[in-house]
Structure 1
Amino acid sequence: MAALAVLETPSGRDALAEGLLELMSPAVQQLDLHVHSVRESQVELREHIDNLASELCRINEHQKVALDLDPYVKKLLNARRRVVLVNNILQNAQERLRRLNHNVAKETARRKTMLEASGAFTPRSPSKP
């Protein structure tokens, strides 16, 4: 019941919101970093697929034995198309994460300013309890 009474006050709700925002911010930043690294890997993979497809076409053109490599080239191009699609999805997700992170930082700063202005928030040094 005492915890409920603390949350009923504006400063208790603000402190809870502040804690939630501070908890979410590192997770969002870490997720953003992972999405960024996956996107870079997707770009590398797409480049390798393009190189392999062009190399297969070149081999097919210069080959004396009639070996049909077109189905393999088509498979590579289909794989490339899927990689580009996944990359676009990741890019959209990363943009949403970036906006979320920005909003979290903005809300944290706003709430911190409100708390400091009301006098309910006094910064403590990490060594003091």
Structure 2
Amino acid sequence: MEKDSDSTLTSLDENTENLCDNPTRDNLAEGIVSLFQPIIDKLDDRVRSTRLAQQDLSEQLDSLIAQLRSIEDIQHTSPEFDTYVHKLINVKHKVTVIYSILQGAQDRLNRLHKQIEREKFKRRSILDSELSSPDTPTTPTS
């Protein structure tokens, strides 16, 4: 019977060095990054277009509110517009809240995109340094 000390398992510290030299792990990570990259880009574009549409809607609501107020000022009393102006102000507030939420989502997507780019650059530099390393033979010896 073998002793427990003869185990072939290695410690975490010993395996940490092997993480950079694992081509399967690098290929898997590169595959995951390439899988999510188009999705993140598409989501980023859609959030950006939605934010622009929300901003345009907000500007149009501001213009409409100004026009309704000028009509109200000309007629001096217009109770039917007052209710609609308040509704438009409430809608504008909701649009502003949605715009703020979209801005936060856009910021998170931008940070995620930057992290992906950093990870790609890091992996490429590791692969380049491994390929150009003089310790690894480039041609088999006979």
TM class, shorter-length? 0.7 to 0.9
CA contact (8 A) 1:22 1:108 kept: no
Deviation at 1:118, TM superposition (A): 2.4
Give the unaligned 5+ runs of structure 1. Answer: 1-8, 120-129
Distance 1:26 1:72 in 2: 43
Deviation at 1:109, TM superposition (A): 1.3
Q: Which residue of 2 aligns with 1:14?
A: 26
1:67 and 2:94 correspond = no
Q: Which residue of 2 aligns with 1:49?
A: 61
Alignment match of 2:95 (pick from 83, 89, 113) = 83
The normalised TM-score by structure 2 is 0.72
Q: Which residue of 1 aligns with 2:6?
A: none
DSSP-derived class of the 2:78 partner: coil
Q: Which residue of 2 aligns with 1:25?
A: 37
Give the unaligned 5+ runs of structure 2. Answer: 1-20, 132-142
Kindly indicate whether structure 1 or structure 2 has the higher relative contact order, using CA contacts under 8 Å at least 6 residues apart: 1
CA contact (8 A) 1:11 1:115 kept: no
CA RMSD, aligned part only?
Answer: 1.5
Alignment match of 1:37 (pick from 33, 38, 49) = 49
The normalised TM-score by structure 1 is 0.79
Offset from partner CA, 1:37-59 (integer Å, 9 cap, x none): 11010010001111111111111
Equivalent residues, number: 110
